[in-house]
Amino acid sequence: MERFGCFILRKTRRTSSDQGRTWSEASRLLPDVTGIFIRQPIVINGDGTWILPVFYCRTEPGHRWIGSDDISGVLYSDDNGASWKEKQASDSVGSVHMNILPPVSGSSTWVAFYRSRWADNIYRSTSTNGIDWGTPKATTLPNPNSGICAARLSSDHIAIVFNRSNASADTLKRQGLYDDITPEDDKRPNQITKTGKDTIWGTPRKTLTLGVSEDEGLTWRERVLEDGDGFCGTNSSSGQENRELSYPSIYIEKDGHKDVAHVAYTWHRQYIKYVRIDDVEAWVSSG
């Protein structure tokens, strides 16, 4: 099995000792690791271990990558990134962009959320140490094979930004993520589906939504951040052919007795849009 490495950026780190005003020179974070993607930030557990969620884009030699054998896992380091060990998430085929949240006070249960290659739902799994993870299970939240991002609020509730859409029988389906830019002389067959499920590309990335959960992601309150048709039948942003709202990031800032959310996301593959929400829980509840 080979790891598909298209668009892998060099993974580097810089450190700061003055709250981010100045930074050290860049050094290679994972000098001996190739063929993986990083979407979410490092989490540090109670004993100082760095835990980095990753996902693997895999395909058989001679086949075009489609995404039907992608999995998640973690790289972890107990020496501040000098060396790393690897642990793949159990039965995680199709579940990518692993987003890890540490336990709340008094609990030992970690929780993670995943994007779905099947364009059906956001998936969820749990762990007792942040390294060994159970099988991802579908949540009640939909997912169109698009990025998600979750964060912990000061109340210990969870906030998540996602697209409220998923694939249906009449959804436009693309052959793959790069089918509109694949060279004509690339005659490789698409990779073989091994799980009985097909990766689905092209489901509208619309209805960008902020959800809040009080029970570790089992149930949710929601409010729409921005809507639109979310067309992503092409990656081209010229002439606004692509109109997706996607790849959100959320950062929570404590401000007195309320949580401020800073949300950024791709707008039609042309700009990065920023939205500030001054009181996350109140805003979602009033929607």
Positive or negative CA dihedral for 276, 279, 284, 286?
negative
| Per-residue model confidence (pLDDT) at position 82 | 84
Q: CA torsion 75→72→236→120, rounded to 10°?
A: -150
Range with the poorest average pLDDT among 24-28, 36-40, 188-192, 217-221: 24-28
The predicted-structure confidence for 231-286, as pLDDT tens digits, reads as follows 998 887 777 889 999 999 999 999 999 999 999 999 999 999 999 999 999 999 99
Place of tokens 């039965």: 91
Q: How high is the pLDDT of residue 9?
A: 46
Mean pLDDT over 178-201 rounds to: 86
Please report which confidence band the pLDDT of residue 2 belongs to, taking 50, 70 and 90 as the band edges. very low
* 265 beta partners: 273
Query: What distance in Å separates the CA atoms of residue 229 and residue 32, rounded to the nearest whole number?
Result: 42
Whether pLDDT at 65 is above 70? yes
Question: Tens digits of per-residue pLDDT, 146-170?
Answer: 999 999 999 999 999 999 999 988 8
Bin 62: left if φ > 0, else alpha if -120 < ψ < 50, else beta.
left
pLDDT digits (tens, 9 = 90+) for 98-156: 999 999 988 889 999 999 999 999 999 999 999 999 999 999 999 999 999 999 999 99
> Which H helix or E strand runs over 283?
helix 280-285
**Residue-level pLDDT at 20:** 87
pLDDT for residue 72:
97
In angstroms, rounded to a whole number, what is the distance separating the alpha carbons of residues 146 and 237?
17
Percent of the chain with pLDDT over 90: 69
Per-residue pLDDT at 8 exceeds 60: no
Residue indicated by tokens 């896992």: 73
Q: How many CB atoms lie within 10 A of CB 26?
A: 11
Q: DSSP string covering 106-170, please?
A: T---EEEEEEETTSSEEEEEEESSSSSBPPPEEEEEE-SS---EEEE-TTS-EEEEEES----TT
What pLDDT, on a 0 to 100 scale, did the predictor assign at position 10? 60
Q: Is the pLDDT of residue 31 over 80?
A: no
Residue 55 has phi, psi (to 5 degrees) of -140, 155
List the structure tokens of 134. Answer: 């159970």
Average pLDDT over residues 80-104: 94
Give the mean model confidence (pLDDT) for residues 60-64: 91
pLDDT at 36: 86
| pLDDT grade for 29, boundaries at 50, 70 and 90 | confident
| φ and ψ of 185, to 5 deg | -85, 5
What are the structural domains of the chain? 2-285 (2.120.10.10)
